[in-house]
Amino acid sequence: MPLRLSVLDQSVHRAGRPQDASIRETLDLAVHCEQLGYHRFWVSEHHALPTLVGTAPEILMAAIAARTHRIRIGSAGVMLPHYAAYKVAEQFRVLDALAPGRIDLGVGRAPGSDQRTARLLNADLRSADDFPRQVQELQAWVSGAELPPGHPGHGVAALPQAATTPLVWMLGSSGYGAQLAAHLGLPYAFAHFITDGEGCEQALHLYRETFRPGVVAQPQAAVCLSVLAADTEEEAWFQFRSRERARIDRRTGRFGPLLPPEQAQRPWLPAEEMERSALRERAIVGSAAQVRERLLALADRWAVEELVLVTWAWDPAVQRRSYELLAGAFALA
């Protein structure tokens, strides 16, 4: 199969712009990416982070569903331990009614926030230990399957029912999610952009080696990775300064809105300079042709048929241009 390209947008807060503008920019980007021919458009869930303001993917997905017609729409993901699986199933059954056959329900176990904020979302922090059970319940409710006798949810359906159902995806950045996805027969997406690739190949191997048919009959894996393309390599590296500064600041506990590239440079400590060099060595940044070559090589190395692209840029026009260039390079439309 030809390589599929999809998009994950995190509603990044840009310095000098109101936070609510980031949500509207995500909506505009979703419409744009559908026109460009991307396969999926996923949105994330984070809480109380000054850099990322997408806190309610299910609401954002509904708005995207109202503005699009073809592209699959998904969460990357719903942080399931914060919520009752039944309520999440209801929300996504409604989303499937709005966009039949186009809804992906990506779930994760990480809090998407600090522990204090996680406690405000769910006072029982031990709920993460129940994640495998929650995922099984969620899958049953979204698919219309019956929970076993004796289960509190036996005989209870998540409405509205329809001819189509959301597709549950397992998201992860370690072997834990890979093993759980394989055990339950779910599609699996590895968060390469979080780990900078560490553990990616091992997780994909573990997923494939231990996979049991379930929701999907064969292993179905995607990798989510950070990329930035521009009309020239020089321009791409200039725009990358914003992402570079955010990543280095985050390692030292400093969070804030994404800075414009002109303001992103500062004197680097020796340890930061080492991190900066390593980050640039790993980064998938350059012209459309250069990025395409890297992506094809990685997809071949990992034996995956889908890559989900995460692109940070202070200027929304730069972000849109990156997706335009790559859509053209891969002849998506």
- Smallest CA-to-CA distance from 188 within 204, 205, 210, 166 is with 204
CA distance 27 to 147: 36
- Contacts of residue 124, defined as CB under 8 A and 6 or more positions apart, other chains included, come to none
User: 74 pLDDT exceeds 80?
Assistant: yes
pLDDT per position as a tens digit, 236-274: 999 999 999 999 998 888 899 999 999 999 999 999 999
Q: Sign (positive/negative) of CA torsion 46, 88, 82, 134?
A: negative
For residue 230, the SS3 value is strand
pLDDT per position as a tens digit, 86-103: 999 999 999 999 999 999
Mean pLDDT, the chain, as a whole number?
95
- The pLDDT assigned to 114 comes to 85
- The pLDDT assigned to 2 comes to 84
Across 97-123, average pLDDT? 91
User: 125 pLDDT exceeds 80?
Assistant: no
Strand 284-287 versus strand 40-43 pairing type: unpaired
Give the number of other Cβ atoms within 10 Å of residue 173's Cβ.
Answer: 21
Burial of 224 (0-12, 13-18, 19+ CB in 10 A): buried
Give the phi and the psi of residue 153 in degrees, each rounded to 5. -95, 5
Q: Is the distance from CB of 21 to CB of 55 less than 8 angstroms?
A: no
Q: Is the distance from CB of 162 to CB of 93 less than 8 angstroms?
A: yes
Burial of 294 (0-12, 13-18, 19+ CB in 10 A): middle
Peptide bond into 106 cis (omega under 30): no
Token pair listed for 50: 């000054």
Across 289-313, average pLDDT? 98
Token pair listed for 229: 């393309």
Q: Sign (positive/negative) of CA torsion 217, 218, 219, 221?
A: negative
- Contacts of residue 26, defined as CB under 8 A and 6 or more positions apart, other chains included, come to 9, 11, 43, 54, 60, 64
- The pLDDT assigned to 204 comes to 98
- The DSSP secondary structure of 15-35, one letter per residue, reads TTS-HHHHHHHHHHHHHHHHH
- The pLDDT assigned to 127 comes to 73
The hierarchical CATH code for the domain 4-229+288-329 is 3.20.20.30
CA distance 268 to 76: 33
Burial of 135 (0-12, 13-18, 19+ CB in 10 A): buried
Across 9-13, average pLDDT? 98
Token pair listed for 106: 């990506």
Across 296-312, average pLDDT? 97
Token pair listed for 42: 């996923």
CA distance 31 to 41: 9
pLDDT per position as a tens digit, 35-62: 999 999 999 999 999 999 999 999 999 9
